[in-house]
Every structure is written in structure tokens, then in C-alpha cells.
């Protein structure tokens, strides 16, 4: 199975079932957009990198705790705003 051809929900399901490669693909798929939006808000490279790491840690923690299926773009946008504003 080609993981890169799966949609976000399918990759999340695989990740929740123990496939860590699926999360790596999700991360690579969305990292540029998320990092750029954070950077445009904070205008500091180091701070943007720190917030980016926090966002993905929160995504992983929430996926594990909630066992939810959702679009990563939607959830990561909420995490970005919460992390930046908190």
C-alpha cells in the first residue's frame, strides 16, 4: 500500500493503529503550510520553530487521547491559534 496516496483520515487511522510512518507522511504533507502560517504571525524563526513543534505534539497527544478522525489542516489551525494566543 502506498501511504502517500492515502487521505489524511486514512493516515490518521493507520497512525492510531500503530503505523508511525503514516504520521510522518502527515507531518511532511502539512509542515510547510503550518510553519509558514506560524512564522507570518510571530515573525521570528526560532519562535516559529518552537511553536511548530508544540503544535504537532498537541496533535499527537490529542489523536492518542481522543482517538478521533479529522482533517489535520483544521485541527492544526486551531492548535496554531491556541498556542500562539495562549
Cell digits of residue 66: 481522543
Q: What is the CATH number of the domain that holds 69?
A: 1.10.1740.10
What is the per-residue pLDDT for 48?
A: 95
- Per the structure, the count of domains in the chain is 1
Neighbours of 23 (CB within 10 A): 19
What is the per-residue pLDDT for 8?
A: 86
Neighbours of 80 (CB within 10 A): 20
Q: What are the tens digits of pLDDT across the range 54-85?
A: 988 888 888 777 655 455 555 555 554 454 44
**Comparison of pLDDT for 61 and 43, the residue scoring more:** 43
- Give the mean model confidence (pLDDT) for residues 30-42: 92
Q: Give the domain range for residue 17.
A: 3-85
What is the per-residue pLDDT for 68?
A: 53
- Which distant-in-sequence residues (6+ apart) come within 8 Å of 14 by Cβ? 3, 6, 22
What is the per-residue pLDDT for 1?
A: 66
**DSSP structural state of residue 5:** G
Q: What are the tens digits of pLDDT across the range 10-34?
A: 888 898 889 999 989 988 998 999 8
Look-up of cell digits 503505523: 19
Amino acid at each position: 500500500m502506498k501511504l502517500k496516496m492515502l487521505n489524511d483520515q486514512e493516515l490518521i487511522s493507520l497512525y492510531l493503529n500503530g503505523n508511525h510512518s503514516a504520521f510522518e507522511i502527515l507531518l511532511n504533507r502539512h509542515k510547510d503550510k503550518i510553519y509558514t502560517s506560524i512564522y507570518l504571525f510571530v515573525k521570528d524563526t526560532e519562535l516559529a520553530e518552537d511553536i511548530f513543534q508544540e503544535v504537532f505534539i498537541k496533535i499527537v497527544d490529542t489523536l492518542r487521547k481522543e482517538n478521533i478522525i479529522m482533517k489535520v489542516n483544521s485541527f492544526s489551525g486551531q492548535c496554531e491559534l491556541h498556542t500562539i494566543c495562549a
